[in-house]
């Protein structure tokens, strides 16, 4: 396994060097909208701890990350009126991982709606900004 790269895009987002559409943050985790969403509201939850993938994170940090995923997912579904949600998480290039900082995808799902392919279509930035504000409100309660 490769060593953690401090110059990966998510590390830069955490340091504030690259903008994102943040929807949630606490002491240990950070959540933001995917700019190439598979469905409306597709978001990423990442640990602030340096970890390349699922095998490279302290179990306590992983537990905290998953607790946030568990807390945010139903609020995301409720805020968007989705029928459910899907969790995706990739480990290694062979599995489709393209950013080597552990991240969990929460993807809202609607019955009968097809997902867009992973990482292919850039979303409208104004629409993402508007959605991020809506979700911040939903996640603050």
pLDDT of residue 120: 86
Give me the domain span that covers residue 84.
9-140
pLDDT in tens, 73-98: 999 999 999 999 999 999 999 999 99
CA angle 138, 9, 77 (to 5 degrees): 20
Give all strands (DSSP E) within the chain, no chain letters. 22-25, 29-33, 43-47, 84-88, 104-109
Q: Flag whether 33 is in a domain.
A: yes
pLDDT at 77: 98
Point out the residues that are catalytic: 103
Q: Which two tokens stand for residue 88?
A: 């995706």
CATH of the domain at 114: 3.30.428.10
Kindly report, residue by residue over 87-127, the tens digit of the pLDDT.
999 999 999 999 999 999 999 999 999 999 888 889 999 99
pLDDT of residue 141 exceeding 70:
no
- The pLDDT of residue 1 is 64
Residue 3: inside a domain: no
Indicate the pTM of the whole model.
0.96
User: Once rounded to an integer, what is the mean pLDDT over residues 58-70?
Assistant: 98
Query: How far is the C-alpha of 59 from the C-alpha of 121, rounded, in Å?
Result: 34
- Position 84 in a domain: yes
């Amino acid at each position: 396994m490769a060593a953690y790269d401090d110059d990966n895009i998510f590390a830069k987002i955490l340091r504030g060097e690259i903008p994102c559409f943040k929807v949630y943050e606490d002491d240990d985790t950070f959540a933001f909208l995917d700019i190439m969403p598979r469905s409306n509201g597709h978001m990423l939850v990442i640990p602030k701890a340096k970890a390349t993938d699922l095998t490279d994170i302290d179990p306590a940090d992983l537990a905290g990350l998953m607790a946030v995923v568990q807390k945010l997912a139903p609020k995301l579904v409720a805020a968007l009126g989705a029928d459910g949600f899907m969790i995706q998480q990739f480990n290694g290039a062979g599995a489709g991982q393209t950013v080597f900082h552990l991240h969990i995808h929460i993807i809202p799902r609607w019955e009968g709606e097809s997902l867009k392919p992973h990482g292919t279509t850039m979303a409208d930035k104004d629409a993402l900004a508007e959605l991020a504000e809506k979700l911040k409100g939903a996640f603050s309660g």
